[in-house]
Copies of this chain bind each other. A is one copy, B any other.
Amino acid sequence: MLEDRRLAVLRAIVEDYVSTREPVGSKALVERHSLGVSSATIRNDMAALEEEGYIAQPHTSAGRIPTDLGYRAFVDRLSGVKPLSGAERRAISDFLAGAVDLDDVMARSVRLLAQLTRQVALVQYPSLVQSTVLHLEIVRLSATRLLLVLIADTGRVEQRAVDLPAPMSEESVAALRSRLLSAVIGRRCADLSSHVEGLAEQFPADERASAAAMIATLLEATVESEERRVMLGGTANLARYRDSFSTTLEPVLEALEEQVVLLRLLGEVSGDVTVRIGHENPVEDLQTTSVVSAGYGRGSSVIAGVGILGPTHMDYPGTMAAVQAVAQYLSRILDEN
């Protein structure tokens, strides 16, 4: 009962602070929310909440603002995921349906998410390792130079130019192509190495090294490139919250330019929506921000992540809903292919 009211106060503080971005005082609270008690009582509750670490004062004689812990409690115990309106759902589905290829899907998603949440949006390309090979093509650029093109079922296309140690005839290339093709098609990229093992040995001695080089490149492409590519959008939204971050935007923008950082930000995505608040975040320069992320994939397996980054004082319920929705639609699009 008493505990209940304290939580109600915390919720009220979070909500007010999120919408006004100004420290909220006891008096303003009783005015804006019908809590049924006087401001003095609220003051007592606030003192207790501060004691427990949920809220803090920027300075004496100012209102309170939620701490990271406060937001955590809010997210965990005080708010559900706010359902999106039908119009919003339709907008998402329409927008994503117009995409023409994978790049386009990613670009549209990032843009959509940035608009919906008015935050910085992140969308990760489907992991290659977890995809299966849909097709593989070898184009002969010259006698000693081939182009390898790998198409995954997720729509990802990888290409590599390969310089051969020895020239290869057109026929040999065709042979290599068909053998490789039958060896890898339909396989998971992660498992390729076992399926192409010993394949080079089937070629005559003078072409064996070239075939091996080709195969090595193929394997390289399917592991190495897993990490690459997170698409970013909506950075303009950072500027609106300028003062919310550390004194200046520079370190934040800098961090966001590093692919590695973005990947760490999305982290281990699971099917559910995950929220990382402030210091819970693994990236040092971004510990004044929160990350809301979710995984998407085919069926039950999570293939990549999508998320947003914003100030800790964001509209968590709404943001979580948007991220979840976009992840769902992405999964659906992947399933359709």
Contacts and interface: CB of A to CB of B under 8 A. Distances in A.
A50 to B, nearest CB: 34
A192 interface: no
A161 B233 contact: no
Given A102-B159, A151-B159, A157-B159, A240 B235 contact: no
Nearest to A249: B239
Nearest to A238: B253
Contacts of A234: 257
A250 interface: yes
Interface residues of A, number: 36
A175 interface: no
A77 B175 CA distance: 62
Given A139-B134, A149-B149, A159 B253 contact: no
Contact of A101 (B134, B158, B248): B158
A236 interface: yes
26 contacts: A100-B160, A101-B159, A101-B160, A102-B159, A103-B229, A111-B257, A135-B137, A135-B139, A135-B147, A135-B149, A139-B151, A151-B159, A155-B159, A157-B157, A161-B337, A235-B235, A235-B253, A235-B257, A236-B249, A236-B250, A236-B253, A236-B257, A239-B248, A239-B253, A240-B250, A249-B249
